[in-house]
Amino acid sequence: MRIFYLLKKELIEIFRQKEMLVIMFIAPILQTIILGYVVTTDVNNIPVEVINLSKNKAAYRIANRINRSDLFDVKKITNQPGDHLKTLKQGKAKSIIILRDRYDKKRKPLAYPEIQILMDGIDSNTSVIAAGYFNGIARQFILEDMRKKGFELPVESQTLIRFNPNLKSINYMGPGIVALLLTIISMFLTSITLVREKEQQTMDTLLISRLTPVEIYLGKSLPMALLGLIEMGIGILVVILVFGIPLRGSLLYLFLASVIFLFAILSYALLISTLCSSQQQALFFSWFSMVTFLLLAGLFTPVENIPKGLHWIADINPLQYLIKIIREIFLKGNGIEYFYKDLLILGAITVTVLTLSLLNFKRLVSK
């Protein structure tokens, strides 16, 4: 019962700080929207120059298709060769498509032109994706043209994309962003909560009261868990209503996973709080941990891409599991039978870190 007095006090304190309320409730909505639009792997409007040196009709039609595509922002179409390196250096275009005639052994022009793609490789990801787009456009044109002429390819693959048929990266990133927000808010707010009591010397007052260390610990963490869940709810609403990402799975499972994750991340934050002697230190530690968790969570790059030596960090990173589960629930509509192992790992992380932080808290207060 005494825990609830502490819980009530924490909530009053939080809701009294207007700046904190803005950070907690307005910032997540704005962040979800901004991140949803910005953190995307979709590549659009790539600045391109098309140099068509071919007299071939097919070359003209390929250049036209590139010009009409929304994927490219065609800056110039010309039939004059130029200084391509200079164009790339100046950043006027990120890609230069050069179409030239091809000839057979008798110096007779072939039906389809040679396509050379020059890319600015600084942003390797965009370059690879853009090259794929160009090749796709050219291949599609040639296929259609050959069919018109009565030719059929002996083997043709057909791709069927499930769960995210339009390959919209927001569908992939959106649910992950909700997990990210949950981490940011919970980590930062909770890591300073115990250390603030230490700094204000109110911890001593609490410790000699009838509250036990466990009650203090839980009384400080439960309000944060509650707020974290509210934040999560806001984030989910934003990704569904603003970005139209479908929630195909069970909301109940989503909250179950979130609650387990919340306790894991709160345990980490409380461990930080018990290790630090000032709020400044705690914030720095939280920031460092959060960036590490974020980079090794599979939000931006797949976990499989992480070097083997760093896999152990990814393995104890709760964010990795939540992002995986949340995507499965949101996009695949999977039930618990598909991710119960992840939930168990998340539970094991929670129990381990919670025990560690509680022991550390007890050690700290019995100095």
Partner 1 sequence: MLELDGLCKSYDSIKAVDNISLSIAPESLTVLAGADGAGKSTLLKIILGLVKKDRGKIYLDQKPIGSDFSKITSITGYMPERFSLYTDLSVEENMNFFSDIQEVPRRRREDLKQRLLEKTGMLPFKKRRAGALSGGMKQKLALSTILLSSPDIIILDEPTTGVDPLSRIEFFNIIEELKEEGKTIIVSTPYLDEAEKGDDIVFIKNGKIIKQGSIQSLKENFPARLFRILPEGNIFKAIESIRADDEITDNVYIRGRYIKYMQSGTAGFIDRIPAKEVKKVSPTLEDIYLYYERNINAV
Stretch that binds partner 1, among 199-207, 234-242, 301-309, 341-349 (CB under 8 A): 199-207
206 lies in the binding site for partner 1 (CB under 8 A): yes
Which pairing describes strands 95-100 and 72-78: parallel, antiparallel, or unpaired? unpaired
Instruction: Indicate which single residue of 152, 201, 308, 337 sits in contact with partner 1 (rule: CB under 8 A).
Output: 201
Distance CA 355, CA 350 (A): 8
Helix/strand/coil percent split, the chain, to 5: 65, 10, 25
The least CB distance from residue 365 to partner 1, in Å, is 8
355 lies in the binding site for partner 1 (CB under 8 A): no
18 lies in the binding site for partner 1 (CB under 8 A): no
Instruction: Indicate which single residue of 57, 204, 248, 344 sits in contact with partner 1 (rule: CB under 8 A).
Output: 204
State how far the alpha carbon of 267 is from the alpha carbons of 24, 51, 261, 273, 285, in Å.
20, 59, 10, 10, 14
149 lies in the binding site for partner 1 (CB under 8 A): no
Distance CA 259, CA 249 (A): 17
280 lies in the binding site for partner 1 (CB under 8 A): no
Instruction: Indicate which single residue of 78, 125, 140, 205 sits in contact with partner 1 (rule: CB under 8 A).
Output: 205
Stretch that binds partner 1, among 3-11, 59-67, 168-176, 295-303 (CB under 8 A): 3-11
The least CB distance from residue 359 to partner 1, in Å, is 16
Stretch that binds partner 1, among 43-51, 83-91, 209-217, 336-344 (CB under 8 A): 209-217
- Residue pair 262/186 in contact by the 8 Å Cβ criterion: yes
Distance CA 117, CA 43 (A): 17
Using the minimum distance from each CB to partner 1, give the nearer residue, 218 or 240.
Answer: 218
Instruction: Indicate which single residue of 67, 135, 140, 202 sits in contact with partner 1 (rule: CB under 8 A).
Output: 202
Instruction: Indicate which single residue of 119, 211, 254, 306 sits in contact with partner 1 (rule: CB under 8 A).
Output: 211
Of 90, 82, 79, the closest CA to residue 51 belongs to 79
300 lies in the binding site for partner 1 (CB under 8 A): no
207 lies in the binding site for partner 1 (CB under 8 A): yes
Tell me how many residues contact partner 1 (CB under 8 A): 22
- Residue pair 193/267 in contact by the 8 Å Cβ criterion: no
Question: Which residues partner with 43 through β-bridges?
Answer: none
Output phi, psi for 74, to 5 deg. -75, 115
148 lies in the binding site for partner 1 (CB under 8 A): no
H or E stretch covering 117? strand 114-119
Distance CA 53, CA 79 (A): 5
Using the minimum distance from each CB to partner 1, give the nearer residue, 102 or 362.
Answer: 362
Using the minimum distance from each CB to partner 1, give the nearer residue, 216 or 232.
Answer: 216
Output phi, psi for 154, to 5 deg. -65, -40
Stretch that binds partner 1, among 12-20, 56-64, 138-146, 307-315 (CB under 8 A): 12-20
Instruction: Indicate which single residue of 80, 157, 159, 366 sits in contact with partner 1 (rule: CB under 8 A).
Output: 366
Distance CA 68, CA 74 (A): 9
Instruction: Give the burial class of 159: count Cβ atoms within 10 A of its Cβ; 0-12 exposed, 13-18 middle, 19 or more buried.
Output: exposed
Instruction: Indicate which single residue of 13, 42, 144, 315 sits in contact with partner 1 (rule: CB under 8 A).
Output: 13
Residues 6 or more apart whose Cβ sits within 8 Å of residue 9: none
Question: For binding to partner 1 (CB under 8 A), which residues are involved?
Answer: 2, 5-6, 9, 12-13, 16-17, 200-202, 204-211, 365-367
